Chain A
Amino acid sequence: MNLSELLIELLLMPLVAFVIGLGMVLMMRKIAARLGRRIGPPLLQPIYDIIKLYGKRTQISHGLIHEIGIIMAVGGYVAAETLLPVPGMNGLADKGGVITLAYVMMIPSLGMALGVGQCANPNGSIGISRALTAMLAYDIPFILVIFGAAYVYGTTNLADIIAIQQQQGVSGWGLMQMPLLALAGMLALPAVMGKQPFEIYIAPAEIATGPMVEMSGKFMGGLFVMQCFQLYTAGVLYTTLFLGGGAYWITFLPKIYAVVAIPMAAAMLFPRYRTEDVIRLMWKWPVLVGLMGLAVAMK
Chain B
Amino acid sequence: MSKLDNIPVRHQPTEAAGRKRTNPLAHVFDELVKFCQSRSMFMLHYCTGCGAIELPPAMTSRFDMERLGIQPMVTPRQADILLITGYVSIKTLKRIILTYEQMQSPKYVIGICSCTVNGGMYWQSYATAKVLKDYLPVDVYIAGCMPRPEAVISGMRELMSDIKSGRAQNWKRYYENYDHYLGNQQKLFGEDWQTPTDIIAEARHYGLMTDRTLGEHTALLEKHQRPLEALEMRLSAREKQKT
Contact = CB atoms under 8 A, between A and B. Distances in A.
Contact of B78 (A48, A57, A59, A216): A216
Interface residues of A, number: 33
B7 interface: no
Interface stretch (A206-214, A281-289, A290-298): A206-214
Contact of A51 (B36, B60, B64): B36
Contact of A45 (B35, B40, B64): B40
A73 B80 CA distance: 24
Contacts of B206: 57
Nearest 3 A-B pairs (CB), nearest first? A55-B33, A58-B104, A216-B77
Interface stretch (A31-39, A77-85, A89-97, A183-191): A31-39
A208 B102 CA distance: 14
A48 B67 contact: no
Interface of A: 29, 33, 36-42, 44-45, 47-49, 51-52, 55-60, 204-205, 208-209, 212-217, 220
Contact of B40 (A37, A52, A213, A214): A52
Contacts of A217: 104
B77 A52 contact: no
B64 A33 contact: yes
Interface string B54-76: 00000011001011010011110
Contact of B77 (A40, A44, A45, A215): A215
Nearest to A123: B75
B197 to A, nearest CB: 11
Given A42-B67, A56-B106, 14 more contacts: A33-B64, A39-B67, A42-B69, A44-B39, A48-B39, A51-B36, A52-B33, A52-B39, A57-B105, A58-B105, A208-B75, A213-B75, A216-B104, A217-B104
B104 A37 contact: no
Contacts of A52: 33, 36-37, 39-40, 80
A40 B104 contact: no
Contacts of A209: 73-75, 78
A213 B77 contact: yes
Contacts of B36: 47-49, 51-52, 55
12 contacts: A38-B61, A39-B66, A40-B67, A41-B69, A42-B67, A45-B40, A47-B36, A52-B80, A55-B36, A57-B105, A209-B78, A220-B78
A28 to B, nearest CB: 13
A57 B64 contact: no
B127 to A, nearest CB: 27
B40 A205 contact: no
Given A45-B69, A49-B40, A216-B104, A36 B74 contact: no
A37 B104 CA distance: 32
Nearest to A56: B104
Given A48-B39, A60-B77, A36 B60 contact: yes
B232 to A, nearest CB: 13
Given A36-B61, A57-B104, A216-B104, A51 B33 contact: yes
B64 A38 contact: yes
A60 B64 contact: no
A40 B37 contact: no
Nearest to A38: B64
Contacts of B40: 45, 48-49, 51-52
B50 interface: no
B61 A37 contact: yes
A29 B69 CA distance: 11
Nearest to A45: B69
A44 B32 CA distance: 13
Contacts of B39: 42, 44-45, 48, 52
A119 B105 CA distance: 19
Interface centre among A56, A58, A214 (most CB of B within 10 A): A58
A39 B64 CA distance: 7
A212 B67 contact: no
